[in-house]
Amino acid sequence: MRHIILTLCALWFTAIVFAQTDPILGKWENPSAEGRIEIYKKGDKYFGKLYWIKDASKKDSKNPDEKLQNRLIQGTEILTNFSKKGSSFEGGEIYDPKSGKTYSCKMTLKGADRLDIRGFVGLSILGRTETWKKIK
């Protein structure tokens, strides 16, 4: 009987831990399948690193900071300082290594395996959205 109670308690605890995990955390692929981003949490903010790109030798040549133009794009943190608000993540920025520009950004979960990324300048209405898919 004691083993059954301990097993049930362990299952209950595991269920609570999994229920509290954040579905945005993990690895995502962009629509062109040229890049993969890992979203992680530092403190209470969310960040994302470009951990894989098709051309791993590609440099950040369009970066406005000349000191960074020689670094590899792979490994670059492209999502910074997002705060969770319901099913959205706001207040952060996204860096586009293709253009060297940084945009305000909002991320919205669309189910368990889709994430809308909206980059914009000024108002969200003046932007572009692309949907990333979760890598399992």
Indicate if the pLDDT at residue 3 is higher than 80.
no
Look at the chain and report how many structural domains it folds into.
Answer: 1
| Distance of alpha carbon 11 from alpha carbon 48, whole angstroms | 32
* CATH code (residue 128): 2.40.128.520
Predicted local confidence at residue 126, as pLDDT: 85
Beta bridge mates, 48: 39, 79
pTM: 0.82
- For residue 57, the model assigns a pLDDT of 96
- 126 lies in some domain: yes
Asked whether residue 94 carries a pLDDT value surpassing 60, the answer given is: yes
Q: What's the rounded Cα separation, in Å, for the pair 55 and 35?
A: 9
What amino acid occupies position 62?
K
Structural domain of residue 108, as residue ranges? 22-134
- Residue 53 belongs to a domain: yes
pLDDT at 125: 86
Give the 3-state secondary structure of residue 130: strand
